[in-house]
Amino acid sequence: MNQVIEALFAGQLKPGHFLGTEAQLIETFKTSRVPIREALGRLEALGVVTIKTGAGGGATIAEGRPDQFATALAVQFMLVQVSPEEIFDARIGIECRAVELAAERITDEEIADLKRLLDRVTEPDLSRRESVERILAFHSAIVAASQSRTLITLMHAIEHALLNLFKAVEPVPANRYKSLKAVLNRIVARDSEGAYAAMRAHLLDRRKSMIYRLKQASGHSLGQGGPSFALPEESEST
């Protein structure tokens, strides 16, 4: 297994490269059927290879699937019980760099989409979940406009954790979204430095508000995850 992964990182293997049938791999690695099957199973679980059985079957280096990685990473975040602070720190790193790139690369169509998404955030009578999902959709659209596949994948991974943290958030009045509008204005102006500063200020404020509320909440301790976290009443948004 390690040999395949090392060859992949070294650029010696590419997506679609046929590694061989089970019999061929047994011969190549001079081992028995059991360790070959175990290694292929682990590689398949990691998304490194696809395995076809029967006539014409064998192991092939898989095509990239960042969405699969994002979901797996999100699950691992939950399993190791990353703290709300850690989730927000990752979010700050991802979104601040993404908004810089978005301000440089965003298209007019994407700007129009961001404006539409922000308008949807401020619609009245949203449920708690709808409010959080729409805010996260706005943030995710900014990351998507960065055109960075790494940042987009990482954002998808932490969205699961963020939704869990903020699913108890009450809908926020439209006049409290000034910081999100400031971010959008800097993107529209193609001001990457200003967009970075606006996003960083917004997310640091959200982090502070969230941690404050969690410390006040009964029955939840930081670092243990939890089913329903809420932000302070004065909070603007997620």
Q: Does a structural domain hold residue 226? A: no
Q: What is the pLDDT of residues 64-83, one digit of tens each?
A: 888 778 888 888 888 888 88
Question: What percentage of the chain carries pLDDT values higher than 70?
Answer: 86
Task: Name the pairing type of β-strands 58-61 and 18-20.
Answer: antiparallel
**Same-domain check for residues 46 and 71:** no
**Same-domain check for residues 109 and 197:** yes
Q: Does a structural domain hold residue 34? A: yes
Q: Does a structural domain hold residue 105? A: yes
Q: Does a structural domain hold residue 102? A: yes
Mean confidence (pLDDT) of the chain: 84
**Same-domain check for residues 104 and 119:** yes
Q: What is the CATH number of the domain that holds 47?
A: 1.10.10.10
Is 0.85 surpassed by the pTM of this model? no
Q: Distance (Å, rounded) from C-alpha 27 to C-alpha 29?
A: 6
Q: Does a structural domain hold residue 231? A: no
Residue 185: is its pLDDT beyond 90?
A: yes
**Same-domain check for residues 120 and 85:** yes
Q: Does a structural domain hold residue 57? A: yes
Which of 61, 86, 110 is the C-terminal boundary of a domain?
61
**Same-domain check for residues 122 and 41:** no
Domain region containing 32:
2-61
Hey, CA dihedral for 102, 107, 110, 112, is it positive or negative? positive
Q: What is the CATH number of the domain that holds 147?
A: 1.20.120.530
**Same-domain check for residues 75 and 99:** yes
Q: Distance (Å, rounded) from C-alpha 217 to C-alpha 225?
A: 13
Evaluate whether 1 touches 10 at the Cβ level (below 8 Å). no
Q: What is the pLDDT of residues 84-107, one digit of tens each?
A: 899 999 999 999 999 999 999 999
Q: What is the pLDDT of residues 109-158, one digit of tens each?
A: 999 999 999 999 888 888 777 888 899 999 999 999 999 999 999 999 99
**Same-domain check for residues 42 and 131:** no
Q: What CA–CA distances, in Å, run from 180 to 4, 61, 99, 219?
A: 45, 42, 12, 31
**Same-domain check for residues 73 and 168:** yes
**Same-domain check for residues 100 and 207:** yes
- Phi, then psi, of 60 in degrees rounded to 5: -130, 140
**Same-domain check for residues 129 and 40:** no
**Same-domain check for residues 52 and 118:** no
